[in-house]
Chains A and B, each alone.
Chain A
Amino acid sequence: DTGVSQNPRHKITKRGQNVTFRCDPISEHNRLYWYRQTLGQGPEFLTYFQNEAQLEKSRLLSDRFSAERPKGSFSTLEIQRTEQGDSAMYLCASSAASVADTQYFGPGTRLTVL
């Protein structure tokens, strides 16, 4: 059973650059979630998809952030004009069709903005 995968695992970028992260969910899961985790904190919800539809976005997701899931499989999270405050771990999770199903997390992408 292949779990949730995320790439890259680490990304170092300079302030003002754009970055894109990818998440591949567990194959039969139609729900996909993005969270952000800063040091010493629990993950905070950013957005989620059911199939290819983006159903909710957090107020944390500023205009510089965009997420897509074009074919209802993998998802990308892009951050434009990165700022030092964007430095964090970005976690992806997926779950199966039922709202009651557990979310399974990937290893995360650690972003460092210099």
Chain B
Amino acid sequence: AQTVTQSQPEMSVQEAETVTLSCTYDTSESDYYLFWYKQPPSRQMILVIRQEAYKQQNATENRFSVNFQKAAKSFSLKISDSQLGDAAMYFCAYRPNFGNEKLTFGTGTRLTIIP
């Protein structure tokens, strides 16, 4: 069974600084997708960024980028130039490319932005 681990329950960062959120996963599959979702206090889950496992290039979306290490099964999220609106719970999620379509989530990291 696939598992996703987020070992940082809480993180804080000064506004305009950079922060990295960690995620590791366990799977026997070779083809899969990884996601970072953001859940602000209003509770609606929003996709931040996704990574296809077959792509070696790390995904980037504006101030958000990932460091995908397939051999180490590590998938960290870097947020640059942190803004107050980045404050939220961040969830790492995994989904295989074939068969089961469910997302498997980690337990989340609560990110606080310090003005």
Contacts and interface: CB of A to CB of B under 8 A. Distances in A.
Interface in B17-37: 33, 35, 37
Contacts of B55: none
Interface residues on B, range: 20 to 34
Given A41-B107, A42-B106, A44-B105, A102 B44 contact: no
Given A100-B33, A107-B43, A42 B108 contact: yes
Contacts of A56: 100-102
Interface string A51-66: 0000110100000000
Interface residues of A, number: 26
Interface string A29-44: 0010101000011111
Contacts of B106: 42
Contacts of B45: 43, 91, 93, 105
B107 A102 contact: no
A100 B97 contact: yes
A94 to B, nearest CB: 12
A6 B101 CA distance: 21
B16 interface: no
Contact of B101 (A42, A48, A91): A48
Interface in B74-115: 91, 93, 97-98, 100-108
Contacts of B102: 33, 45, 48, 56, 58
A112 to B, nearest CB: 14
Interface of A: 31, 33, 35, 40-45, 48, 55-56, 58, 89, 91, 93, 99-100, 102-108, 110
